Amino acid sequence: MNHRTKTPCEIFFGQTLETIRPVKRCPVIFNEKKEVLLFKHTYRQHAWSLPGGYLKSGEHPKEALEREIKEESGLVVSVDESLKTRTDRDSSRLDMCYVGVFIGGEFTPSHEVSEYGFFSQDKIPLLRSNQVFLIEAARQQKMVK
């Protein structure tokens, strides 16, 4: 039996930090044609969006993104560069955004992702405006390097 003292956060929320998910990650992943990877999520209002998810306790954001994309789709990516860190004022969540590249893998649908696609700038489907901003920022960052 574990008799450790609960942290103030555990006392307040009644949960461990492993179940509280205040940090979300979102990658902008490009293929060799400079097309952006989008997932068709089964649970979002805007069906198409950037991949993403939440950190597990003790996980580095880059590793978490690579793991999450592999788990949700079977695709393998390399998350390489930090793009932007921002706060979501509505939910008090921290968003950590990165830029990466597609490596390979075979797509397998999951309960969260029904389809995937790589889209050129002129063929991107309807997305939330903050995701359009991130894609453009990632394109600009890639052009500078």
Mean pLDDT of the chain: 83
At 101, the amino acid letter reads: V
3-state secondary structure of 18: coil
- Residue 41: exposed, middle, or buried by beta-carbon count in 10 A (0-12, 13-18, 19+)? buried
What pLDDT does 24 receive? 74
* Model confidence pLDDT, tens digit, residues 80-115: 999 998 876 777 778 889 999 999 999 999 999 999
Per-residue confidence (pLDDT) for residue 2, from 0 to 100: 52
pTM of the predicted structure, to 2 decimals:
0.80
Q: Give the CA-trace dihedral at 4, 55, 87, 38, to 10 degrees.
A: -170
**Mind listing the domains of the chain with CATH numbers?**
17-144 (3.90.79.10)
Band the pLDDT of 14: cuts 50, 70, 90: very low
User: In the prediction, which pLDDT does 110 show?
Assistant: 96
Q: Residue 71 has what pLDDT?
A: 94
Higher pLDDT, 19 or 141: 141
CA angle 9, 2, 57 (to 5 degrees): 45
pLDDT tens-digit readout, 33-48: 999 999 999 987 778 9
Q: What is the pLDDT of residues 110-135, one digit of tens each?
A: 999 999 999 999 999 999 888 999 99
Check: CB of residue 69 under 8 Å from CB of residue 51.
Answer: yes
The token pair at 43 is 């649970």
Q: Percentage of residues in the chain with pLDDT exceeding 70? A: 82
